Every structure is written in structure tokens, then in C-alpha cells.
Amino acid sequence: MLEKMSRLYAPTLKEDPTEADLASHKLLLRAGMIRKTASGLYSYLPLAWRSLEKIETIVREEMDSHGGQEVLLPVLTPAELWRESGRWDVYGPELMRVQDRHEREFALGPTHEETMTDLVNHELKSYKQLPQNLYQIQQKFRDELRPRFGLMRGREFIMKDAYSFDADEAGLKATYDQMYDAYDRIFKRCGLHCVPVAADSGQIGGSSSIEFMALAEYGEAAIVHCDQCGYAADEEAATAVIAVADGPATPDGEMVELDTPGAHTIEEVAALLGVDRSATRKSIALVNGVGEPVVAIVPGDHELNDVKASHAFGDYRLMTDEELESLGLVKGCIGPVGLPEGVLCVCDISLQQSLSWLVGANLPEKHLAGACPGRDFTPDEWLDLASAKAGDRCPECGAPLKEARGIEVGQIFQLGDKYSRALHATFLDQDGKERFFQMGCYGIGVTRTLAAVVEQSHDEAGIVWPVPVAPFEVEVLPLDVSDDLVWPAAQRLADELAALGVQTLLDDRKERAGVKFNDADLLGLPYQVVLGKRGVKNGTVELKDRADGERTDVPLEDVASQVAGLVDARRM
């Protein structure tokens, strides 16, 4: 396969686009691979499309060899089905809704649990027909409040989504494990360094979920992981063991009121009293989903985790200053002792370790030391509320956890019967008894995977494509296309490479060598073959490995087979 640069539609940009912060966003724009149509909406130009097709092929091969069957469902999904599952209302403005000419409502599918369940319902009738695992690759829609980072968080994106139907939980577990293996292979084959992490099930629901995170310095997601035993979880799902220190000692362990003038934050209180932040307690006043006032307390050196808080408090929000005042809570000095009637006190589970808390006194410029749960106040509930972070202990082995950032490229869920029950989707088991399908669902962000690859694999000069997902495998760079030695040699070499099955891009443009070198590094094909006048005269060309930058002089007559061999070894 041979393509010529003069013909290829890949308008490169010399300057970094101002709209882009993230490396993948910048480089995909600069290399002429993507263009923005509107906020969060991108067009994929030929180079990006070639890479996307390779990712899709890898996904298809692994899905097919792990029990999947490909289908394609409509983008327009009927509102009735979303209403049956209850998600029409839950989903909020992220779900793009459209009315047809007869005013019937549809959602532009962000995910297809409902329509897929509806598809098999009444057709998968017997346990004998199970398991089934149906997948599709399709443009999906999510009307993000703040689309950003290019392909990372767009409003329209390509996703592979799969849905499995099993007869029982053991079957679901087996299918889920199969998908785990498939995902592991898919991301490896794409050249991504991914870690599977325990995840929260979020809007999709279900009992168990794993995210595949491509590690990246500027990834959106925070992960904690344990080098000792391999445990990894996203911040939202991690149930770390948090080391909690007691507050300052008090005479006989009694509760003592302390003056803390001007100390309204954890940092200020810790500094004033000369204790570590872990010896303090952070109290957050909020209103839970059913309108009740709550004071949530976490270790002073940890944050209240939004997702954990949502599980605990529903659709909660922070209290306004007016609400604080009307309840007699003093901003900056809130604490669990002497809370007004009707204000719930919910404490992070880790705080059970300590019987001597340093907390706000609910009085201006005052804190309490030695406050003892059970004696001085009574928590209504102990829950997992705090975000895990580096230094916390691994829940599996107790070693200290480390922090990393990642890009979520895939997620697998055990849904159980959440959707089959809501949509009354049943089959007959061996005893002729009607049962709900045990479902799983499995997503891969195809366009996000592309961006993640670039995020993990680039340098100052541009993209560094792993061979399996590179738009082309080699670029042939004749430095002077008007030279009657160099140009014919370049053409012959390009033909030879193509004939050996190497996907070849020939830079046939009448541009200066500098422009060609820069563009070649920017596009980042795995190998470059540079043909200069002197070299060709002596029968040699320069072979550059884009990944390590190494340049080797290679005899012109050998270079095609050498490149073919190198590429083939890295194709997977």
C-alpha cells in the first residue's frame, strides 16, 4: 500500500493551536489528523481514519475470538425503552434528545443497554441459546457540559459496546473474565500501557466493574495502586486503609475547648496547633438528596470523594452560607459535637481508629481537642467517604499505595439483572422456570484509545506511533524530488516497500528538507527512510527509527527488506 504526500489530505499546522492544551489534542490537530467541527465534535481525516480502522480491526479480532458477535443498532433509541429502565430522567442533559416529525421522542444512543436488551427479548427464549455476547462499533453521543481535551472528552465519539446475556451469575462471571482477557489483549496490541483498576459502576449500574486505564501524566482520572500486590483502583472506587492520627492529647483525655483565632482551614488549624493534618478532622456541611442537612467528616488530610458521597447522600449539594447560619453552624469551625437536632453526622470509616478527635467547636474561632465519638457525640453512620491517596495503605496487602493518573479507555461491568428486570427480559431455564438474563456490558472508547496512544507516545517533535496503529508504517523521504538520481530511487524504494506489504507514505512534495523532516517527525510514522543526493550516489540511505531517534546508514538495496522485517516484528 503506497500513498503520496502530495495527494494525501493531511493539512499540517506549523504552530500549536491555541485551543489545545493536551499533547494528544495538539499533535492530532497539528499532524492534520483531526479537525473541530464544533465544540466537542471532531472530523477524522484520512490519517486518523487509518489508525482508527486499525484499532477497530484489533477490537473486532479480539471480540470475535472471545465469543463476541458483531451487530449494529440504530443511533436513534426510543424514549419508551429509556423510560422503562428509568434512565430517561436520571441521565440528565448529557442524553441528547430528539423528536421525530410525529413528536415521538428518541435519545441519540450514548450506550445501548436498553435497546440491546429489547432486541434479544422474546427471541432468546431458552437457556440453550445462552450465552450470547453482541457488540457494535458506532458513533455515540454524550452532551458534555464542558467538552475538552480533543478526542478525550468529546460529545460524539466512536465506541465499541458489547452486551452479554447469560443464564446465571457463574455464566456472567465467565463471560466477564473472557472480556477482561480480550480487553487486556486489545490494549496491548494497540501499544498502550494499561492497568485494570477496580471502578465504580456509576450511571451504568451493576455490581462489579473494572476500568482499563492508560497511564498518562495528564490523564483525567486519578488512580491509586500498590506495587506490592498489584492492587489498583480509581480514586472513586479505592477502599484504602487510611492511617488516622489522634488529635493533641488532653488532660485525662477530656474534651477541651481551644482558641483558634484566624484558623479556618485544616492547614491553618494544623499549623497553629503544631499537629499533622492527619490529626485533624475535616467537616463538610451539605444537604443530601432528600433535603436533610448532613455534616460529613473525613480525615483532615483527605478529601470527601464526590462519587462516594453521591452513593451515601444521593444527589447532594454543599450548604449555602445562609443555611449554615440558620442551623447555627459556624463556617470554618464546624464539628460533630453539639450538632443541632436533625443534622445528621456521617463519618468516614477510617476515623473509627481514633478516640481523640480535633474538630471544629461550632463556635467562632474555637476548636475542640479530645472529642471522643460515642462519648462526646454520636455519629449517625460510619461510611467510606474519603478519596484514597498516595501513602494510604493497600486494602489487600497493607503496603503503601501510590498515585498515578490515567485515561479510561475501556470499562467492563457485571450488570446482573438490573436491565433485564426493568425491561422484563426473561428466558426459560433448565427447569422451565422464567428467569431474568444475567447481563454484562463492555465498552471501549475507540477514538479515545487513539488519543491515549498519542498521549503515551509522543515527544517534543511530534507523535511516535506504535507500529500496530500507525497510519502508515514507513515514510520515504527523498530530500530533492527534482534530482534525477534521488527521485527515481525513492519511487523504486516506495514501490518495493509496498510490494513487501509495508504501508508506505512517500513524501513527493517539492519542499525544503527541513520542512519534510519536521513533518515526518510530527506525523511520527515508526520508520523514516531518508534519501539524500550523496547517499544515493554511494548506494546508501538513512534509516531512522522514530521511537529512539537512532539513524543508521543502510545499503539502498537492503533497506526495503530490512524495514519489512522490522515492521513485521512489531505488528502484533
Q: For binding to a second copy (CB under 8 A), which residues are involved?
A: 8-9, 11, 35, 37-38, 41-46, 49-50, 52-53, 69-78, 93-94, 96-98, 100-101, 104, 106, 108, 115, 118-120, 123-124, 132, 134, 138-139, 141, 143, 145, 155-156, 158
Look up residue 392 and give its three cell numbers.
494510604
Q: Which of 19, 138, 3, 78 is nearest to 507 (CA)?
A: 3
> Rounded distance, CA 127 to CA 129, Å?
5
Q: For residues 145 and 290, which CB has a smaller minimum distance to a second copy in the complex?
A: 145
Least Å distance, CB 434 to a second copy, is 18
CB of 103 to a second copy, least distance (A): 11
Phi, psi angles (nearest 5°) of residue 24: -65, -40
Decide whether 38 or 569 has the Cβ nearer to a second copy.
38
Measured from the CB atom, the residue of 42 and 413 that comes closer to a second copy is 42
Nearer to a second copy, 100 or 341 (CB): 100
Residue 96 or 241: which CB sits closer to a second copy? 96
Q: Which amino acid belongs to residue 261?
A: P
CB of 141 to a second copy, least distance (A): 7
Q: Which residue lies nearer to a second copy by CB, 70 or 220? A: 70
Report in angstroms how near the CB of residue 138 gets to a second copy at its nearest: 7
Residue the block writes with cell 492547614: 267
Q: Within 13 Å of residue 120, how many CA atoms lie on the same side as its CB? A: 30
Helices (H), 381-485: 418-422, 446-456
**With 0-12 CB in 10 A as exposed, 13-18 as middle and 19+ as buried, what is 274?**
exposed
Q: Which CB atom, from 163 or from 212, has the smaller least distance to a second copy?
A: 163
- What phi and psi values does residue 128 have, to the nearest 5 degrees? -65, -25
Residues 486, 480: contact at Cβ < 8 Å? Answer: yes
Residue-by-residue DSSP string for 498-513 = HHTT--EEE------H
For residue 514, the minimal CB distance to a second copy (Å) is 20
CA distance 553 to 491: 19
Grid cell in block for residue 252: 485525662
Q: In whole angstroms, how close is the CB of 7 to a second copy at the nearest point?
A: 8
Q: Report how far residue 461's alpha carbon sits from residue 457's, in angstroms, rounded to the nearest whole number.
A: 11
Q: Which residue, chain included where needed, has cell 500500500?
A: 1
Shortest reach from residue 109's CB to a second copy, in Å = 10
Return the number of the residue (1 or 271) whose C-beta is nearest a second copy: 1
CA distance 427 to 124: 7
Asked if 13 and 30 touch (Cβ cutoff 8 Å), the reply is: yes
Which CB sits closer to a second copy, 41 or 363? 41
Q: Judging by DSSP bridges, how do beta strands 344-348 and 293-299 pair with one another?
A: parallel
Closest CB to a second copy among residues 401, 446: 446
Nearer to a second copy, 77 or 350 (CB): 77
What CA–CA distance (Å, rounded) separates 546 from 500?
21
d(CA 111, CA 160): 10
Q: How far is the CB of 145 from a second copy (least distance, A)?
A: 7
What kind and span of H or E run contains 351?
Answer: none
CB of 451 to a second copy, least distance (A): 15
Whether residue 400 contacts residue 393, with contact meaning beta carbons closer than 8 Å, is answered with yes
* Least distance from a second copy to the Cβ atom of residue 49, Å: 5
Output the DSSP codes for 194-212: EEEEE---TTT--SEEEEE
Shortest CB 93 distance to a second copy, Å: 4
Dihedral of the alpha carbons of 137, 60, 200, 320, in degrees to the nearest 10: -30
Q: C-beta of 526: minimal distance to a second copy in Å?
A: 21
Nearest CB to a second copy, comparing residues 53 and 429: 53
Minimum gap (Å) between residue 511 Cβ and a second copy: 12
Provide the CB-side half-sphere exposure for 130 (13 A, CA). Answer: 28
Residue 24 or residue 136: which is nearer to a second copy going by CB?
Answer: 136
* Cell 492508560 sits on residue: 214
Three-class DSSP category at 216: coil
Q: Kindly compute the dihedral angle of the four CA atoms of residues 483, 486, 487, 489, in this order, to the nearest 10 degrees.
A: 150
Nearer to a second copy, 428 or 485 (CB): 428
Q: Is the peptide bond before 131 cis (omega within 30 degrees of 0)?
A: yes
Residue showing cell 546508514: 553
| Residue 485, Cβ density class (10 Å: 0-12 exposed, 13-18 middle, ≥19 buried) | middle
Write down the least CB distance from residue 113 to a second copy, Å: 14
Other CB atoms within 10 Å distance of the CB of residue 187: 27
